[in-house]
Amino acid sequence: MKVWAISDLHLNFGGPDRRDDLSLKRREQALRVEREWRAVVAPDDLVLLPGDISMARNHRDVQPDLAWIDRLPGRKIFSPGNHDAWFGKVLGIRRFLRRSQFAVNGDSLHFGDVVVCGSRSYPADDETEPLRKKEDSLLFDLRMALLRATTHRDIIRQKGKSFGIPVNVQLYVLWHHPPFNRYGIPSRAAETLAEHEVDVCVYGHLHAISQWGRSPQGLHDNVRYYCVAADAVGFRPLRVDNSIEPTMLPF
C-alpha cells in the first residue's frame, strides 16, 4: 500500500454550468488531475486530501464532486479546507460519503499500520484578534485528533509486540494551511505535531510558485512536511510514504 497526497482540487461539478474562464479552467484542471491520478494510484493505495476539495456550499451540491472522486482509484481521506463550506461535523459527513471515501476532522482513522488524522486549520500569518481567539479552539481540535491518533498507534504497536512482530506505525496529519508563517517560523500547530511525534504532515492552500517555492518542506523537528496543493505538484498526487525521502531545506 502506497500513500499519496493532493489538495486544492476546487471541484465544482454541482455548480452552475457557466462558460466563464474560471469555470472552464477548473474543469480542465479536473481532467488533468484525473489523468495524472490514474497514472500512479492503485486501488489499494491511500490518497490524502487536506482540504479545498469542493467549492460546493452544501451536502446536495457536493454530490457530483464526491461521485467524480469515487470513480478514481484508491481510498481517499478528506479533511476540510477554508473553501469546504459543505464540510460540517465529521459524523454527518461520513453518512453520505462513498465506500472509497473517509473523513477526519478532530479525530483519526487507521488503515493497517498507517494512522491518519486531521482537523480544520488556520493561517499562521493571520494575527488578527478574531483569528487568535479561534486559533485556540482549532488547536484543541488538532490535539484531540492527535490524542486519538497516538492511541491508535500505541494499540497497533502493542498488538505487534504481543505477537513478537515489530510494527513501524506511520502517523499522517492533514492540515490545510501551511503550519509555518511567511518567514518559515513554525506555528503552534507545527510545535504540536512535533510534540506528538508525527511522521508526516501534508498541507496545501498555496497556488503560486512564489508561495509554494518558499514554503518549508522536508524534515523539521523529526516531522516530514509536504506541500501537496494541486498546482504545486503538477496536478499529480505526490507519494509521501516512507519510501520517498523529502528534500532537506533550511527552515
For residue range 82-115, what is the model confidence (pLDDT) as tens digits? 999 999 899 999 999 999 999 999 999 999 999 9
Residue 209: is its pLDDT beyond 90?
Answer: no
* Span 3-239 CATH architecture: 4-Layer Sandwich (3.60)
Confidence (pLDDT) at 249: 34
Within 13 Å and on the Cβ side, how many CA atoms surround 47? 26
Q: Are 188 and 134 in contact (CB under 8 A)?
A: no
Confidence (pLDDT) at 17: 62
Which of the four pLDDT bands, split at 50, 70 and 90, describes residue 16?
A: low
Residue 120: helix, strand or coil by DSSP?
coil
Cβ-in-10-Å burial (0-12, 13-18, 19+) of 218 comes to: middle
Which of the four pLDDT bands, split at 50, 70 and 90, describes residue 75?
A: very high
Confidence (pLDDT) at 182: 86
pLDDT tens digits for range 19-52: 555 677 778 899 999 999 999 999 999 999 999 9
Say what the pTM is. 0.92
Nearest by Cα to 104 from 119, 92, 115, 114: 119
Percent of the chain's residues with pLDDT above 70: 91
Please name the residues in contact with 66: beta carbons below 8 A apart, sequence gap of 6 or more.
Answer: 54, 96, 97, 98, 101
